Amino acid sequence: MCYTDFRMTLNKSLAQNTIVQIIGKAVSTILGLIAVAILTRNLGTEQFGWYVTATGFLQFVGILIDFGFTVTTSNLLSEPEHDKEQLFNTIFTWRFITATICFILAPLIFLFFPYRNEIKIAVAVTSLSFFANTINQVFIGFYRQKLSMFIATMSEVIGRVLLVIGFAILALNKAGFIPLMLIITLSSLGSTYYLIKNFGKIKFSIDKVISRAIFHKMWPTAISVIFNTLYLQADRVILPLYVSQSEVGLYGAAYRVLDITTQIAAIVMGLVMPLLTFAWSRKLLDEFKKRYQIGVDLLALILFPMVTGIFVLAGPIMNFIAGSEFSGSGAMLRWLCISILGTTFGMTFGHVVLAINRQKEALLIYGSDAILSVTGYLIFIPKYGWLGAVWVTIFSEIYAGIFLALMAVVYSGIMPKFGTLAKILLSSIIMGTIIFTVSWPLIPSILLGILVYTALIFLFKIIKLQSLKEIINFSKVA
């Protein structure tokens, strides 16, 4: 295959995977919001606070022990060395061992926290769910590298379908808190079963040479992930120690909406990441530069209008999703969404730093951010509650985003163009101003925002009609 044919095939694969992930994430997001709506209305603010406290702790543990398995799997499989089957089996085995140890210890450690028994039981019950999600990371990394995300996307959708059906049945029967937590575990196990069933044969094996390569590649990422966890997730562990469970419930409901946007950022960069690694490792600098720019522009194109819309419509959004009892979450969401601007840059340039093998240099950024953020949480949460948590969250995201951007530019030698970024920002501000001015109900406001933003991206030539035609014709590219 000549280079031109390879590039056309790569573009086709990227387009197809993007479409699959966008459709899958749209379906998964809708199902996730339905699940949250059922849960909030069935539990109320206090018991939803129990749920947030339990899952927040496990999510903290899960991300803490991520060690970069997803990106490392994708990264190593993109490089020419090592037998691919043996590489995957070794990564899977190490992931299984580390996850088993950590999620056995997590419920035992939580017993020493000053919470009521229902929350401690919930941690024990849902730890298996987080174990399953941790195992899924290796498969997701594999399918990302292969640019074949249909199975991974279907797995997530199946898990969400099981979650919604289970919640709905239990809610109709007025089930209590613990049965609802059991449904979370069952849905995650269903998702994992689908991944394993469709993957084929998996063997537990550890190759010493490959293991050394994995740990050499992973340790800077692992330390970075630990630091990231401290500055991104510590608020969810510290906040419940100082405020009521009802306030934790309000804060957690706002965060559930915010998580949707960060998941979108992770999907976009998860798609671009293997291509960045492939191009950089083979010194295809023109291709690397193009993919680099795509990552910056695509994230901004999606996230900037979402941030603007959430900021303007935060109150109605929380009322619509969680119910009137959670109206207090609106103010929390409005503040929290500002942090997404930092997330956009942090996610983009963090992946670029990883692709160009500068993880070690990034440790100083992640480490200093973790120290500053945890210190900030411990100072401001006891004094200001959720507002203190929000202030530190905004600071930590923007701090990481700025310094990662500078590092990516310095070590890659490539300065991305920010002209398109400025147009996207202007379009988003105009859209938000119009929505705020007309002050329509939620659904009409969202539709108006979509129409206005779509018109503006064509007016400012952010996206051209010819580009859309080329995307549509990708399926015709051989």
Residue 451's alpha-carbon distances to 26, 251, 318, 376, 468, in angstroms, are 18, 31, 22, 41, 17
Residue 169's alpha-carbon distances to 137, 156, 175, 178, 245, in angstroms, are 29, 20, 9, 14, 26
Is the residue at 443 inside a domain?
A: no
* List of long-range contacts for 94-100, beta carbons under 8 Å, 24+ apart: 94/69, 94/206, 94/211, 94/214, 95/69, 95/134, 95/135, 95/137, 95/138, 96/135, 96/204, 98/65, 98/67, 99/65, 99/131, 99/134, 99/135, 100/131
pLDDT at 4: 47
Instruction: Kindly give the parts of the chain with pLDDT less than 50.
Output: 1, 3-8, 10, 467-478
Residue 77's alpha-carbon distances to 69, 70, 332, 401, 462, in angstroms, are 12, 11, 41, 27, 34
pLDDT at 131: 94
pLDDT at 325: 93
pLDDT at 467: 46
Two tokens at 439?
């002050």
Nearest Cα neighbor of 158 from 200, 196, 122 is 196
Is the residue at 16 inside a domain?
A: yes
pLDDT at 242: 95
DSSP code for 240: G
Residue 72's alpha-carbon distances to 137, 214, 318, in angstroms, are 10, 8, 36
Nearest Cα neighbor of 473 from 20, 8, 146 is 8
Phi then psi for residue 327, to 5 deg, are: -60, -30
pLDDT at 252: 93
Is the residue at 422 inside a domain?
A: no
C-alpha 288/C-alpha 340 separation (Å) is: 25
Q: Which domain holds residue 96?
A: 3-417
Q: At what angle do helices 245-281 and 69-78 cross, to 10 degrees?
A: 10
Over the range 14-36, which residues count as b (16 or more CB within 10 Å of their CB) and which as e? bbbbbebbbebbebbbebbbbbb
Is the residue at 456 inside a domain?
A: no
Is the residue at 288 inside a domain?
A: yes
For the CA atoms of the chain, what is the radius of gyration? Answer: 22
Is the residue at 226 inside a domain?
A: yes
Query: Are the C-beta atoms of 256 and 34 separated by less than 8 Å?
Result: no
Over the range 51-76, which residues count as b (16 or more CB within 10 Å of their CB) and which as e? bbbbbbbbbbbbbbbbbbbbbbbbbb
pLDDT at 6: 43
C-alpha 293/C-alpha 416 separation (Å) is: 6
Residue 397, burial from CB neighbour count under 10 angstroms (0-12, 13-18, 19+)? buried
Q: Considering its fold, how many domains does the chain have in total?
A: 1
Is the residue at 474 inside a domain?
A: no
Q: What is the pLDDT of residues 194-239, one digit of tens each?
A: 988 887 778 888 888 888 877 877 777 778 778 877 877 889 899 9
Contacts of 213 (CB under 8 A, 6+ apart): 76, 81, 82
pLDDT at 123: 97
pTM: 0.82
pLDDT at 3: 44
Query: Are the C-beta atoms of 233 and 68 separated by less than 8 Å?
Result: no
pLDDT at 146: 63
pLDDT at 73: 67
C-alpha 195/C-alpha 189 separation (Å) is: 10
Q: What are the start-end ranges of the H helices in 114-176?
A: 117-145, 150-172
Two tokens at 99?
């996850």
Is the residue at 469 inside a domain?
A: no
